[in-house]
Amino acid sequence: LLKELEIPYPKFTSVETAEEAITACKTLGFPLLVRPSYVLGGQSMKIVINEEELEHQVIKILGQMPDNKILLDHFLSGAIEAEVDAICDGDDSYIIGIMEHIEPAGIHSGDSYAVLPSFDLSAHVLEKIKEYTTKIAKKLQVKGLINIQFAIKNETVYVIEANPRASRTVPFIAKAYQEPYVKYATELMLGVKKIKDYQFKPVQK
């Protein structure tokens, strides 16, 4: 989907064996972020810098979760991480908050600190984040909430992942901006309201 929308993303693949991982790393390049799929909280996630570390981590994950696929992502060293929460009605979307992480990309979002509004993102980066969020939400026809995580390196905005669901940051944004965004999202999910029906308070971006 990101390729179709011409949105940058780190090179990635999924593997099921250590042999497949070693073959894949030659195309993806080091460092690599290695993690099992379908786990929460960054469980068993590790950044590896060579084939020996990669093989060891893949074997370790397979020993703990033998039937799980393993995700390999090229890790963008020194990147800044940011994330967005937005509400959508299937056609239009409204970004309720753009947060910038204090820690560099690579620290799981559940263990990191996010600042609202962002403090060090350029106007160009903020514009790209808004553009990509709008494109992804519309293409997925999201009704309700979506959370998208980004890595920014050399002013290029990469999408790490997009989750069409409520995120743990939504209540934080609703409190900070004193807007009942969860209520709005529920009304959009039920189809009783559209984005254009709301008059949002101006917020600091």
Backbone angles phi, psi at 169, to 5 degrees: -85, -15
3-state secondary structure the chain: CCCCCCCCCCCEEEECCHHHHHHHHHHHCCCEEEEECCCCCCCCCEEECCHHHHHHHHHHHHHHCCCCCEEEEECCCCCEEEEEEEEEECCCEEEEEEEEEEEECCCCHHHCCEECCCCCCCHHHHHHHHHHHHHHHHHHCCEEEEEEEEEEECCEEEEEEEECCCCCCHHHHHHHHCCCHHHHHHHHHHCCCCHHHCCCCCCCC
pTM for the predicted model, two decimal places: 0.87
Give residue 91's pLDDT band: very low, low, confident or very high (50, 70, 90).
very high
Q: Supply the pLDDT for residue 108.
A: 72
3-state secondary structure 40-88: CCCCCCEEECCHHHHHHHHHHHHHHCCCCCEEEEECCCCCEEEEEEEEE
- Is the model more confident about 65 or about 26? 26
Indicate if the pLDDT at residue 94 is higher than 80.
Answer: yes
Give residue 93's pLDDT band: very low, low, confident or very high (50, 70, 90).
very high
Indicate if the pLDDT at residue 115 is higher than 70.
Answer: yes
Give residue 13's pLDDT band: very low, low, confident or very high (50, 70, 90).
very high
Q: Supply the pLDDT for residue 29.
A: 94
Indicate if the pLDDT at residue 5 is higher than 60.
Answer: yes
Indicate if the pLDDT at residue 41 is higher than 90.
Answer: no
Of 155, 156, 136, residue with least CA distance to 146: 136
Instruction: Give CA torsion, residues 161, 9, 78, 29, to 10 deg.
Output: 120
Give residue 154's pLDDT band: very low, low, confident or very high (50, 70, 90).
very high
